[in-house]
Amino acid sequence: MATAPTTQLVAVVKRECETCQMVTPVLRELHRRRRLVVYTQDDPAFPEGVSAIHDDDLAVSWHQQIDTVPTLIRMDGDVEVERAVGWSRAEWERLSGVDGLAPDLPPTRPGCGSMSVDPDRVDELRRRFEGGRLHSRHVELADEEDDIEVMFQRGWSDGLPVVPPTEARVLRMLDGTSRAPEDVVATVPPDLVDVTVEKVAVAAVMAGCLPEYLPWVITVVEAICTDEFNIHGVLATTMPVGPVIVCNGPGTQAIGMNAGVNALGQGNRANLTIGRTVQLVVRNVGGGRPGEVDRATHGNPGKLSFCFAEHSKWSFGSLAESRGAAPGADAVTVFAGEGPRCVVDQLSRTPESLASSIAACLRTLHSPKLVLVFDAMLVLGPEHARVFSDSGWDRERLLAELDQRLQIPGTELVRGAAGIAEGMPAAFAAHTLPKFRAGGLLLAGAGGAAGLFSAIIGGWANAEIGSQPVTREVRT
């Protein structure tokens, strides 16, 4: 025989749930034999024969994190010991210490969704019970004001409509991370303002993110606000560069990122809104606005958002792992880059021919007569990648072959050569120089399976005088 517990039992039910109605006789028996407190979500007269407390504002259900009714909880004072979700005779007998409960009922039956997790109610409940977590000031608008137009007028938009960051939406976004809202993520240039998790969540709401994207956004903000990446310099340069974000790991698939057809383009919510959030943080928190600190002569459309995932399975391994991330880790790499340019080679069927073709395109980056100053990212398309992998070339072999083909005689690079004033000083005429510094050419894999194309993303000034790529693992 089970021993009756000395602790209190709590049950949460609602009349609309058939399983709750079914276990009404069990609730009456436990109410008679044990210290049972019953909370009813909808009908204060339910369950019949039990003196129940009406959880009319759903405060108890919310704070007890009731997802399903009926739920039976065994309490030791104010501390939960164990709970049973739905109806299970064995579990209810064990929790209550009463054997032989309702032998005429089925042994188990699933419950129903709690009213506290109803999609039509949950945002308002979160706002009501968790609103004190937020520290951002509230902007009150007149009834006749258009909230989207107001955000345009106040300069909070990147030129496209943004989602109004209501308290309920920001709280929902914060469900995407276990970090406290007041935690400082980074100090954002150019104004050197500390940005908290809450402020990043506000920007994520405005950009259209889902909560599961938030850890990725936080990681990218951390990465760009390092001395190595130098977002202040990326903003201030007159070159058309901005943060290019490459995402790796199983989490990219879990949040629905695109690494395939049109990966560098429009149409994927995760790709576009993660990158857009980062730009909104730089603009609205750090003060990096076009025409002010942002001095790009032309800019490029990627300055709205330039974020994509790498193919999870391709023979060259992930960009993040090549830069030190743990195998299989979710990670981001940020690179100061311009818009992509297409590499077309539909006839090369040997790796040697294709490498020579790609190298010829890489040589033109920014200027065919400037070397070592600029990094680049080669985004290899699947059909081009197959030409190399079928011949046994790996990442190291491909990069080495490209480097070999990009050793350029100084006589072709000096100022005045080929009738072009641009170029290297005359002292370099006697030397052979590489197009890229060691490690200055990054290799990523993305794009649709059809099409003998790749893409080149040109970088800004590199090393200490400019920006260096930064890779960070994502903390969920």
Unique residue bearing structure tokens 């311009």: 338
244, containing H or E segment: strand 242-248
For position 5, what pLDDT does the model report? 47
What are the structure tokens assigned to 307, written together?
């974020």
- Return the closest-CA partner of residue 115 out of 166, 64, 79, 78: 64
Measure Cα distances from 52 to 6, 37, 45, 65, 83 in Å: 21, 7, 8, 19, 19
Indicate if the pLDDT at residue 200 is higher than 70: yes
162: alpha, beta or left, given left = phi > 0 and alpha = psi -120 to 50? beta
Confidence category of residue 476, pLDDT binned at 50, 70, 90? confident
Write out the CATH class of domain 8-117: alpha beta
**Distant-in-sequence, close-in-space partners of 243: CB < 8 Å, separation ≥ 6:** 220, 224, 229, 231, 234, 275, 278, 279, 306, 334, 335, 336
| pLDDT at residue 1, rounded to an integer | 36
What local confidence, expressed as pLDDT, does residue 117 receive? 96
Is the pLDDT assigned to residue 445 strictly greater than 70? Answer: yes
Q: Which of 72, 74, 100 is nearest to 2 (CA)?
A: 100
Mean pLDDT within 407-422: 96
| Token digits of residue 455 | 């893409």
Output the pLDDT for position 143: 86
Q: What is the pLDDT of residue 132?
A: 85
Look at residue 6 and tell me whether its pLDDT is greater than 60.
no
What are the domain boundaries of the chain? 8-117, 153-473
| Residue 4 scores a pLDDT above 50 | no
Per-residue tokens: 37: 């407190």
What is the number of alpha carbons within 13 Å of residue 71 lying toward its C-beta?
Answer: 23
Quote the tokens at residue 386: 């197959």
pLDDT value, residue 114? 98
Q: Are 386 and 375 in contact (CB under 8 A)?
A: no
Q: Is the predicted pLDDT of residue 192 greater than 60, yes or no?
A: yes
Per-residue pLDDT of 225-254, as tens digits, reads 999 999 999 999 999 999 999 999 999 999
Mean pLDDT of the chain: 95
pLDDT of residue 2: 44
pLDDT for 106 equals 96
Non-local (6+) Cβ contacts of 368 within 8 A are none
Percent of the chain with pLDDT over 70: 99
